[in-house]
Amino acid sequence: MNTRISLFAFFLLFLSLTACRDKDTVVHGKVVDKVTGEGLDSVLVEWYEFEHPDKITGQNAIYTDVDGAFQLSSEENNIAIFAITDKKISSPRVYMANFHGAGLPKIKKNKFNEVEIGLIPMEGVLKLTINNTSAKDTIYVAVFGPSIASQVPVSLGFYLKRPVEVLSMTSNTVTPIYMPSKEPVNIYWSLTPWTTASSIMMSPNNGSVEILQGDTTYFQIDI
């Protein structure tokens, strides 16, 4: 009799654990170098839980392990990964952050999800020199590239979009910009501020350059 009760209790426990497991939303992920496929340790993965897009119920963060792996779970809610950054990464490389889960499949609620997140290494440096022969002391500069457009949608594709002080009849070098190598970028400049992203893209003053790998790429603006 006792044996029957014990077996029945074990069966009930098994059913309850199975039910909980089926109910949980689980994400088993890995963050890798998008070029080499190598797992990246100590990458910060930020995520939130939500009942529906307008009602966030929790926000959390976790670091990847030595192999680049991480695991998230929620008993009741949906999960969305919204930022992957390399704040503590031990690799000597610099990586572009991934925001709003760009390029990731939608995480299915109450399922076991496996995801691989590739971070783009920024192996190139762009250095801009501005020669200002105009009467104005401020030049408006923008740098557009496809990688940041896909990984950081809020950027609208711009690595740089700001006024730069360059006194009339002088030159100035803009702070170096790290970005992916072997990627063509478009550079725009103007004496007047732009009002929209599309107005930047239509600027008559523009040029393009391909970013060198592991080296500095120089571009000169004459205005």
Nearest Cα residue to 84 out of 103, 107, 106:
103
The pLDDT, as a whole number, for residue 14 is 45
| For the chain, percent of residues with pLDDT exceeding 70 | 87
Q: Which residues contact 177 (CB under 8 A, 6 or more apart)?
A: 125, 126, 127, 128, 143, 159, 160
Q: How many domains does the chain have?
A: 2
pLDDT category of residue 12 using cuts at 50, 70 and 90 = very low
Q: Do residues 133 and 208 share a domain?
A: yes
Is the pLDDT higher at 20 or at 170?
A: 170
In a domain, 54, yes or no: yes
In a domain, 66, yes or no: yes
Q: Do residues 95 and 28 share a domain?
A: yes
In a domain, 59, yes or no: yes
C-alpha torsion angle, residues 197, 198, 204, 209 (rounded to 10): 60
Q: Do residues 163 and 208 share a domain?
A: yes
Domain that holds residue 213: 124-222
Taking only the tens place, the pLDDT of each residue in 178-220 is 999 998 999 999 999 999 999 999 999 999 999 999 899 999 9
Alpha-carbon span 112 to 64, nearest angstrom: 18
Domain holding 52: CATH number? 2.60.130.10
Q: Do residues 115 and 88 share a domain?
A: yes
Domain holding 177: CATH number? 2.60.40
The pLDDT, as a whole number, for residue 49 is 85
Residue 5 has pLDDT above 70, yes or no: no
Q: Do residues 189 and 214 share a domain?
A: yes
Q: Do residues 29 and 114 share a domain?
A: yes
Q: Do residues 99 and 147 share a domain?
A: no
The pLDDT, as a whole number, for residue 200 is 96
Q: Do residues 141 and 74 share a domain?
A: no
In a domain, 17, yes or no: no
Residue 19 has pLDDT above 80, yes or no: no
Taking only the tens place, the pLDDT of each residue in 139-176 is 999 999 999 988 888 889 999 999 999 999 999 999 89
The pLDDT, as a whole number, for residue 90 is 65
Q: Do residues 88 and 133 share a domain?
A: no
Is the pLDDT higher at 211 or at 10?
A: 211
Q: pTM higher than 0.85 for the full model?
A: no
Taking only the tens place, the pLDDT of each residue in 55-102 is 778 788 899 999 999 999 988 788 888 878 876 666 667 889 888 777
In a domain, 203, yes or no: yes
Q: Residue type at 76?
A: E
In a domain, 15, yes or no: no
Residue 107 has pLDDT above 80, yes or no: yes
Q: Do residues 29 and 113 share a domain?
A: yes
Choose one of 100, 119, 138: the last residue of a domain: 119
Q: Do residues 183 and 201 share a domain?
A: yes
C-alpha distances out from residue 88 to 43, 80, 178, Å = 6, 22, 18
Choose one of 119, 135, 153: the last residue of a domain: 119
* Contact assessment for residue 188 and residue 200, using Cβ atoms and an 8 Å cutoff: yes
